[in-house]
Amino acid sequence: MVVYQTTDLTAASFSVALFGLAATTALLLMGTAWVGQKWRLPVALCAIAALIGVGSIYEARAAWLAGHGVPVVYHYVGWAVSMPLQVIALFFVVGAAGALSVGLFWRMAIVSALMVFVRYLGEAQFMHPTLAFLIGLVFWLYLLGEFYFGRMDDVVRASTGDELRRGYFWLRLIVTIGWAIYPLGNFLTAFAGVADDGSLSVAYNVADILNRMAFGVAVLATAILATGRSTHA
């Protein structure tokens, strides 16, 4: 039987992320009943992203307890689904305030999926690590360009709701800072020769708390405030 060691902070971080994501999933699913019709889809998408995180963290924790190592695929399987879902959720958050094109939807969905897939190819040695890192970085910068300088930013600026502008500020900040942890880990393993002795998994778990839990709660808070404003208008 596998028993936790008191000093095993890596296993503890997996448990914190696992239980936190489970609680976030339940909160967001309940939250779909607290928001207006147009906000339910982005909240539900964040709930699904958190639920995907529960499964991937559970598998990664089991792998860590079995051999004190986590194969890279355990991280990327979850990211490959949850990160595009979050990008799409952000698209619909902004779409609640103004018209966005179908072309923008597909570009962002495809680019976010390719961003994760290409980085995985590099870390799994199916592709040259340097090339994979640079391509993944370009995809991430493209998404940031859309968030900061594209049509989505224009819609938010033109919005009359302060709650959307505040929510978009925090969501965009999470994608900027929180998502930077993933390519940083990719850089350390691919170029600096850092082996995952558990510290990298801790960093990824902290990132998941920020990127999955905080992101979903921020979407829910924005939706609740926007729903309240439209109800009292």
Query: Is residue 5 in a domain?
Result: no
Are 13 and 202 spatial neighbours (Cβ–Cβ below 8 Å)?
Answer: yes
Query: Is residue 156 in a domain?
Result: yes
Query: Is residue 3 in a domain?
Result: no
Query: Is residue 215 in a domain?
Result: yes
Query: Is residue 74 in a domain?
Result: yes
The count of structural domains within the chain is 1
pLDDT computed for residue 206 by the predictor: 87
pLDDT in tens, 68-80: 777 777 888 889 9
Range of 109's domain? 10-228
Could you tell me the CATH number of the domain that includes residue 67? 1.20.1070.10
pLDDT computed for residue 1 by the predictor: 46
Sign of CA dihedral 152, 154, 158, 163: positive
CA distance 220 to 170: 12
Query: Is residue 128 in a domain?
Result: yes
What is the DSSP track for 68-81? S---HHHHHHHHHH
Query: Is residue 47 in a domain?
Result: yes
Query: Is residue 32 in a domain?
Result: yes
pLDDT tens series, the chain, 233 aa? 455 555 678 888 889 999 999 999 999 999 999 999 999 999 999 999 999 999 999 988 888 888 777 777 788 888 999 999 999 999 999 998 888 999 999 999 999 999 999 999 988 888 888 899 899 999 999 999 999 999 999 999 988 778 899 999 999 999 999 888 888 887 777 666 666 667 888 888 888 888 999 999 999 999 999 888 666 55
